[in-house]
A and B are shown apart, each in its own frame.
Chain A
């Protein structure tokens, strides 16, 4: 099975332990994880604290990319 994955900004940085866990579990269950190409940051707490529209628009771009790439 092939699945798109949106890692998020910290998954290769401060949360790399989670990244390693996710990929090893996927391997165990025979799931191929494909990174959504050219994904951006979701805006996290900073966006929804300061600007609601921005906090909705940033993740929408990622969803659109996921849809485009099947």
Chain B
């Protein structure tokens, strides 16, 4: 009998992940190859293999730990774990799902504040012009995060190599982009 058949509690996070994105955490046999290859595992409170183990337990306390972890926000979605996984468990898609779930249930790790601020600044820029305006993104992120001096010395170097545009590029059909944002908006 598989783990899934034994697991009769349908409200667990692992069940939900399987139902919505068809990623089966139960397939993991804890070889640890994902964690060994993860470039950011050292910074995470739970490395990827441990997130999978916590999911497998199906305990509410452990589900909560995952949603409140910084791991899900530090994940770069580089897909190294998926490439290395002998069971081909799509950890990156799972991380995407967990991030959105964590936001939805307002359980976001306090350390993720600036990461989310960056993503929000990024999307704001696209919403306004249709394309990313890098200088605008940097300024908006600094305003949100108050990390005013972060990476500031890179600015002049990039500018001198023509890698930073002063003005944003705007697409013509910005109404269309606004519509896409409106239709996919989350409450």
Contact = CB atoms under 8 A, between A and B. Distances in A.
Interface of A: 9-10, 12-16, 38-41, 43-54, 57-58, 61
A16 B159 CA distance: 12
B96 interface: yes
Contacts of A45: 76-77, 119, 122
Contacts of B169: 12
A14 B180 contact: no
Interface of B: 76-77, 96-97, 99-100, 103, 116, 118-120, 122-123, 126, 130-132, 134, 158, 161-165, 169, 171-173, 176-177, 180-181, 183-184, 186
A39 B173 CA distance: 9
A50 B100 contact: yes
11 contacts: A13-B165, A14-B134, A16-B162, A38-B173, A41-B132, A45-B122, A46-B120, A49-B99, A50-B120, A51-B100, A54-B181
A40 B100 contact: no
A43 B99 contact: no
Contacts of A44: 122, 132
A61 B172 CA distance: 13
Main secondary structure of the interface of B (DSSP, over half): helix
Contacts of A39: 131, 171
Contacts of A16: 161-163
Contact of B132 (A10, A50, A61): A10
A50 B172 CA distance: 26
Main secondary structure of the interface of A (DSSP, over half): helix
A57 B185 CA distance: 11
A60 B17 CA distance: 25
A42 B137 CA distance: 15
Contact of B184 (A14, A15, A54): A54
A57 B126 CA distance: 13
